Amino acid sequence: MNIIVCIKQVPDTAEIRINPETNTLMREGVPSIINPFDLHAIEAAIQVREQMGGKVTVLTMGPPQAETSLREAVSMGADEAVLLSDKAFAGSDTWATSYTLAQAIKKLGADIVFCGKQAIDGDTAQVGPETAEFLGIPHISYIRKIEDVKDNYIRVERLMDEGYDIVESSLPVLLTVVRELNQPRMPSLKGKMAAKKAEIKKMGMSDIGADEDSLGLRGSPTQVKNIFAPEVKAERKMIKGTTEEQVVTLIKELKGMKCI
């Protein structure tokens, strides 16, 4: 079984600050990590391989330094790693990113594609489902449990606001995963040694047969007009008096606001 995991190298949000003037992330000097949701995707892929056999390939689009994240994935147990890197990819929004990833996945071939549900820097949760659309395959998002996998069949639990759905699909399929799915493993010593020696396959625009106009900034329909923090406009009212008076006033107020 061929399994591909799409991962993203992101700035460690625990360390990040936001530029108060531009409202953009200040990435300078901030350590890069694998997007935390993607770690769960890697773990899921390794578990499926352990059960079904086959190969796990990690795939990322990013600058050359994203190679460190790919090596980290190999140290956890991924078999192969592919870096999509090309000047033509720069400035991609989720649409262009999904197109690029889909082109690469078509070249590599996959029975199951795993993605984290979203990246912690952009938080859009669009790239997984959009990639499936470009590939023309079904996707199931927010999966919290893999109940069954066979050669041409998968049954999973999809996390919903209230409860969960049980979803069945044929393969190939794209799955986006939530944290509840599993506990990502630590790297192993043998994995770390393999990661040091691992050959990172590099693919650019021509390798994936992409249409230049669909790539990077040019291929990105998203236009950011302005970034701002929403204003908090909560009204405040202090209730005074003894505890009993306060309780009476509070109930009256809440009733007036139709809260109770």
Partner 1 sequence: MDYFLDEEQMMIKDLARQIAEEKVMPIRAELDEREEFPWDIMNILAQSDFLGIYIPEAYGGMGRGGFEFSLAVEELSRACLGVSTTYAANALGTYPILLYGSEEQKKKYLPDIASGRKLVAFALTEANAGSDAAGVQTTARLEGNEYVLNGTKQWITNGGEASIYTVIAITDKSKGARGASAFVVEKDTPGFSFGKKENKLGIRASSTRELIFENCRIPKENIIGKPGMGFIVAMKTLDSSRTGVGAQGVGVAQGAFDAAAAYALERQQFGQPIFSIQAVQHLLADMATQIEAARALVYAVAKFIDSKAKDVSKESAMAKLFATDVAMKVTVDAVQVMGGAGYMREYPVEKMMRDAKILQIYEGTNQIQRNVIGQALIKETAKKK
Q: Point out which span in 8-16, 22-30, 155-163, 188-196 binds partner 1 (CB under 8 A).
A: 188-196
By the rule CB under 8 A, 190 interacts with partner 1: yes
Rounded CA-CA distance 137/7 in Å is 19
Closest to partner 1 by CB, 106 vs 185, is 185
Report in angstroms the alpha-carbon separations of 135 from 141, 170, 183.
Answer: 15, 14, 29
Which residue among 123, 151, 162, 189 contacts partner 1 (CB under 8 A)?
A: 189
Instruction: In angstroms, give the least distance from the CB of 68 to partner 1.
Output: 14
By the rule CB under 8 A, 218 interacts with partner 1: no
Rounded CA-CA distance 177/159 in Å is 9
By the rule CB under 8 A, 188 interacts with partner 1: yes
- Residues in contact with partner 1, counted by CB under 8 A, come to a total of 10
Closest to partner 1 by CB, 71 vs 139, is 71
Residues 6+ apart with CB under 8 A from 2: 54, 55, 57, 108, 109, 110, 111, 112
By the rule CB under 8 A, 145 interacts with partner 1: no
By the rule CB under 8 A, 255 interacts with partner 1: no
DSSP symbol at 185: P
Tokens in use for 244?
A: 């009993």
By the rule CB under 8 A, 192 interacts with partner 1: yes
Residues 6+ apart with CB under 8 A from 38: 5, 6, 7, 8, 115, 116, 119
Tokens in use for 156?
A: 């999973």
By the rule CB under 8 A, 14 interacts with partner 1: no
Closest to partner 1 by CB, 172 vs 184, is 184
By the rule CB under 8 A, 186 interacts with partner 1: yes
Contact residues: partner 1, CB under 8 A: 185-193, 196
